[in-house]
Structures are given as structure tokens and as C-alpha cells.
Structure 1
Amino acid sequence: MVAVCERELFGRVRTDLGRVAADLARPGLVPEADTRLVHDRAGQLVARAWVNRRSEVDVHPQHQGRGLGGVLLVWAETRARQAGSARIVQTVPDDDTNAVRLLRSRGYEPMVTQWLLEYLMPEEPALPEPPAGVTVRPFRAGDEHGAHRLVEDAFDEWQERRQTYQEWARHTVGRPTFAPAMSALAFADGQPVGAALSLDLPDTDEGYIEQVAVRRDHRSRGIARLLLQNAFHAFYEQGRRACTLGTHSDTGALNLYLRVGMTVRHSSTVFRKDL
């Protein structure tokens, strides 16, 4: 159902089964209390919602305009209050004007802007030379915990909380679609200093980079660009002619991606409501 919603809105599917499973395995999320499924008279799934600090609500395109989104939004807020949450957060594509209008009418305010960026590859991407003392290679078995520490340290500047290895892995290296051969790690003095972790999503002819991180003491050396170009090149060798990744305004990384040659495909807004 999520895939149908995305295809209707974006013309392509962005969410795989692993992403849905990772969301439903969020720490503290109790499926019996924190999720809702809506079925029609024939038993077909037509809407769903979950809440656990964040919330997601999806309504099948054929059943939109009937009030299901509003009902599930009220349920999510009620459940969040019962769980003791001080606020609720939901991300909505800017092109989904009906959803944006609904959230604003219920007192939600914009908090963060998210962008999906794309890199088109009609020709083989160039591979820049690594900075002095830095080497790059594809991800290997055994790199998992080092990559986790690197990413969480790098993301400490803007994320609300650190993820445990198990939670992080469900969204990255533990997903069935994780693509180690298309993921790149940078090393200096034998220690990981950068990572670009990629997914090989089904039903698409594009590559997708899930996370990009560079250790703070090695930034401004061109390592992020180097990792991206290696990931782009690896996808190109697999026959892909475009690669995408997501970022948001809290990371401050948008200009980096634009300088690499990426462009914004579409944007979303993270809305929040104090309860």
C-alpha cells in the first residue's frame, strides 16, 4: 500500500519492505497499541498509521478524500499523549498539498525541510584522487560496528538521540537491500573516517545512498565527495544511470551535494505539534 501511495505521488517507489520493518521495530513501539490498519469491506488494506515519537499516516489513493487521514491523525495524537510524548512529528511531501493542508489545519508547524537529491550518470563518473593518507574501499563483512560508531559520532551534532547498533543496523547494514559492493568506506591511519552506505532497492533502476558521514576531524578534505563519487561509480558499473540520496536542513549538507553535481528532485517538510 505504501508503494502504491509513493508511485501515485512521485511516479516511483522509494520505500522497500526493509524500511517498513525497521520502522515497526523502533525501540518502544508496541504494535498492538502504536499502529492502526484500516481495511475496506473486501478486506483490502486502505490506510495505515504508526506513532512512536514520530508518526506516519498513509491512505491509498483510491480512498483519499474520505476523511481517513484525519481520523488516523487524531488517533496518532491521542496515542502519543497516552504514551506521555511532549510532541508529535510527521513528514509530508510538499507535493502532497492535501496532507500539508490537513496538518496545518490541526496546528502543526514546519520544523525541518528534507530533500531527495539525484545524480544523473549518462557517462561514467570520474573518481577523484584520495587526500594524502586516506584510502577508500568497498564495505566488507566486519565493518559493521566501526561504521555504526562513525555514523553516530558524525550525526551527534543534529540528531536527538544516538541509535543502538541494532536499531541503526535495521535501517542500514541489516536491511535485505543493503549493498556492500556499492558502499564506500574511507580510512586514515587504519581507522574509518568516512562512510557512504548504499541500498539496492527493488523495482527501481536507480542507486540509493542511505547515509553519508565523515568524522569531524577529517572534514573539509574532500572525503565526502570522494565517497559519493565511489558510490556513484559502483552503481554505474551495475548499469544504473542515476543515484539518489536524502538530506535535511539540520545537517547543513545540501550545498555539499549540490557542489558534487546533485540536484533536488523533490522536497518534504517535517511538521511538529506540541501536545
Structure 2
Amino acid sequence: MTTKKQAKAQAAKRQHAYEERVAAKRRRQQHVIRLTAVITLAALVLGGGLTVLLLALQDDDADTGAAAATTPAATATASTGSTDGSSDAADDFDVEIASGWAASPEPPDPSYAEDRTWTVTMGTNQGDLVMELDGAAAPQAVASFIKLAEDGYFDGTSCHRLTTAGIYVLQCGDPTGLGTGGPAYRYGPIENAPADDLYPAGTIAMARVSGNGESMGSQFFIVYEDSTIPSDSAGGYTVLGHLTAGTDRVVSVANAGTITGDTDGTPAKSVIVNEVSVS
């Protein structure tokens, strides 16, 4: 199990690596702008023969890590169940993920949710996010979340994905920061999904692979603005609770957009989870 001291050290390391990536990307963008200006000037002088070269330079420097989907249906799939690893949030250091319940081949028993409401405080570098989880409505999802949180599984992790068009969610819970990580187990079926596909602001729901209701692990998403997320062949998305405080902090992250400026990608304003407490 990761200790609080180790979690804070990991969080600081993530923050430093994140800031380095942002700075490097800005330098690349400024370099392209300067090259574009020079080439455009040369093209005006020499004619249009450099157009292909200009396009080649732009394509070579383009960020291919963030998903480019902008339609609501495509964004819903990418944001709540993508497993393609397309993210700028890769870390340059190892993260211990196989310990405690995370190493178990089977998820915690739903009875651990105790058929009651749980209060979870997620301390982040952007401030606390306070959640109320419904152990009666989504016992399997809540049992898994609670047991992982008690093991310190989420400590030192980052929220790796933000969508700002079509649907409005911040996705977290992956210790690798790639969008592909999770515990050794997966679980289902889907619990407590809204019949009308409407997820109000503040909703906390489980991410999963598109079309697979048995693929939930540790990744979850926070809805920061009312969103209609269409059901797929497996159904909707398990709602395990809602935020009681901190939605404004998620909105602030969303307002800063993604690193690339795309509508789906790594948040420009990082969210690092320092520790999670459960009561």
C-alpha cells in the first residue's frame, strides 16, 4: 500500500513532469509559429511552391496524442471508455499499482458497500472534492471504490482526460495516467444508469470499455455540466454518487481547456489527487 508520504512525493513528481510537458509543448508551438512565419514570407517572395513543405511541417509537429472526436456520440465513447492509451499524460517514472485490492483477480464483494451512503473527500492540488456515494443504488461500484480508496490506490494519481464539447466530464482514477490502467480485476454489470441518458452536473460515474458492461475497474468521470451521454449496446454508465462540494473547482479546470486546445484531451490545468479519505 502506498503511504501518504509516498503519495505526496508521487504527486509532486507528477506535477513537475506535467509542467515540463506543458512547457515543452509551448516551446514547440512557438517554434512552429516562427517557422510558419518564415516559410510564409519566403512563399510570398518565391511563389507557392513551398505550400507542401509548410503543411508537412505542421503535420510533423501536430500532437497526435489527444482524441479528435467532437461529436457527442464519439466523445462519449472516447471519454468514458477509451482504451487506446491516447493521452499526453504519460509519466516518466514507475507507479506501483498492484497492491491490496488492486492486485486481486476479483472485485470486493458488494456487501462492503453496506447498503448506505458514504462520504469521500478527495484532496487535490486544486482543492477538495467531496463526494457522496450511494452504496444502496450501486453496491458493486461503491464497494470497489471504497476498498481501493482505503488502500491508498488513488493517492498520487492524476485526472488524465477532459472533454469540453458534446459531453462535459473530467476523467480520473487511472494510476498510470494513460487512460488504460486499473486494478487486476474488472466488474459488472452496470448499476444505477439513468434511463434518459442524462447525467446532471456533479454526477460521478464509472468509465468502461464501449459496449462492455463488465469492464469497469477504477476509472471514473465527474460530470461538471449537465450532459446527455448516449447508451451503447451495453447500456448506460454506472452512477455511484455525486459531488456535494467542489464542482466549481472542476469547472475551473474545464474552463482552462486541454493542453492541445482540442475538446478532448489532457487537462491544461492539472488535477493531482493527493489523498482520499472515506467515512
Q: Could you say which TM-score interval applies, normalised by the shorter chain?
A: under 0.3
TM-score by length of 2: 0.27
Higher strand share: 1
TM-score by length of 1: 0.28
